[in-house]
Copies of this chain bind each other. A is one copy, B any other.
Amino acid sequence: MGTFQVELKKVVDDSYEIEVGFALEDKLIADLQDGLVGKIHKFAVITDSNVKDLYGEPILHRLQDAGYQADLFVFEAGEKSKTRQTKEMIEDAMLEKQYRRDCCVIAVGGGVVTDLAGFVAGTYGRGVPFINYATTLLAAADASVGGKTAVDTPLATNLIGMFNQPEKVYLDIATWKTLPKREVISGLAETIKHACLGSKEFFYYLDEHMEEILSLQKEACEHIAEENCKIKYHVVMKDERESGLREVLNLGHTVGRAIETVSDYQLLHGEAVSIGMVAEAKLAYRLGYVTEQERDAVIALLDKAELPIRIPEYIDRDALVKKLYTDKKVRDGKLRFVIQKGIGDIVEFEPGVFATPIEEQVAREIIMSI
């Protein structure tokens, strides 16, 4: 009998750059030529049916024109495609085209594409590098920092996945113009969430410049892309494995995700989160963490962004309360919510614990009131 110690202590450097700008397709190619992913010359461009013609094909052709080997792997757009089956379909298509370990994945699209493609890259050949080319505001706000990748299963959202950091992220603001307006607005919910969590100054910037933002004026878009990265980065940096602080990014998401599911995805993610933020601002007021004015300012800003601030009539509120219990923050069968403190601050319930236990009755009353 004996024991044998395997020593595997090492320094890992997963640092990467986020580039914010207009029409970054050529910059991507230039970066590759400058050795962004070393000598790799084979690229799997993963995209969805919405983005394929607009950005997938153009990037594919630029890669091919630059002398790289590249193929396009397209799946049907929408959250419903974020499954193990789609991952498998892409893997098989890559294998069919002889992709081995010496390739790089380029995700071109919104959050669904970057979540899925990042996961594909993470397990393909036990990990190949990947690059995110984000074409939505939501991806800029949500998927560009943090390294979270995942798929959904019939029984759980985002539960099968991994932490996987990209080589570089491009936030191409020019692409936002091709988004349906409803998508842009949906993306603003996460932006407002970030402001509520991390920056009073940014909150008032959004309030003042909402018109420019909604009309997608360049300067305002760049500013919000950068502020989103900054706030999310500061939260994520302090807690890469979601053990504590990162939970605050769940602001508005306890009720939000439940609404999204109960609506059977009739509501977009950001729309559902907006309603969730209304609920959680009301909760914060009730618990004494925000003033009446602050609560109303949050709701007014969501409204100004043309986001929904009431639970739609067709939603069964009892089903909604029940659905809250599938939230991943539930502990020992008890609901837990992230609560904002004032504007731009958060509540640390106890050291390292940012989600506060809430009685079902309280949650129910709030849900019935909006």
- Partner-B contacts on A (CB < 8 A): 1-22, 84, 88, 91-92, 95-96, 100-102, 119, 122-127, 145, 147-148, 150, 153-156, 159-163, 165, 222, 226, 229-230, 233, 237, 240, 242, 328, 330-331
A58 to chain B, nearest CB (A): 19
A159 to chain B, nearest CB (A): 6
Contact assessment for A12 and B13 in the assembled complex, using a CB-CB cutoff below 8 Å: no
A351 to chain B, nearest CB (A): 16
Contact assessment for A155 and B92 in the assembled complex, using a CB-CB cutoff below 8 Å: yes
Across the A-B interface, the 3 shortest Cβ-Cβ residue pairs: A1-B21, A8-B14, A95-B155
CA distance A329 to B117 in the complex (A): 24
- Given A95-B159, A162-B123, A328-B125, A6 and B22 touching (CB < 8 A)? no
Contact assessment for B233 and A4 in the assembled complex, using a CB-CB cutoff below 8 Å: yes
Contact assessment for A14 and B3 in the assembled complex, using a CB-CB cutoff below 8 Å: no
Residue of B nearest to A102 (CB): B331
Residue of B nearest to A8 (CB): B14
Contact assessment for A100 and B20 in the assembled complex, using a CB-CB cutoff below 8 Å: no
Residue of B nearest to A161 (CB): B126
Contact assessment for A3 and B18 in the assembled complex, using a CB-CB cutoff below 8 Å: yes
Which residues of B are found within 8 Å of A102, using beta-carbon distances? 331
Contact assessment for B6 and A20 in the assembled complex, using a CB-CB cutoff below 8 Å: no
CA distance A165 to B12 in the complex (A): 15
CA distance A7 to B10 in the complex (A): 17
A323 to chain B, nearest CB (A): 14
Contact assessment for A328 and B240 in the assembled complex, using a CB-CB cutoff below 8 Å: no
- Given A5-B15, A17-B3, A10 and B240 touching (CB < 8 A)? yes
- Given A159-B125, A230-B4, A100 and B9 touching (CB < 8 A)? no
- Given A123-B161, A161-B123, A20 and B5 touching (CB < 8 A)? no
Contact assessment for B6 and A145 in the assembled complex, using a CB-CB cutoff below 8 Å: yes
Residue of B nearest to A148 (CB): B126
CA distance A4 to B55 in the complex (A): 23
Contact assessment for A20 and B7 in the assembled complex, using a CB-CB cutoff below 8 Å: no
Contact assessment for A11 and B8 in the assembled complex, using a CB-CB cutoff below 8 Å: no
Residue of B nearest to A122 (CB): B162
Contact assessment for A150 and B126 in the assembled complex, using a CB-CB cutoff below 8 Å: yes
Q: Which of B20, B95, B124, B159 contacts A2 (CB 8 A)?
A: B20
Which residues of B are found within 8 Å of A162, using beta-carbon distances? 122-123, 126-127, 162
Which residues of B are found within 8 Å of A160, using beta-carbon distances? 91, 123-124
Which residues of B are found within 8 Å of A17, using beta-carbon distances? 3-6
CA distance A1 to B172 in the complex (A): 10
Which residues of B are found within 8 Å of A147, using beta-carbon distances? 8
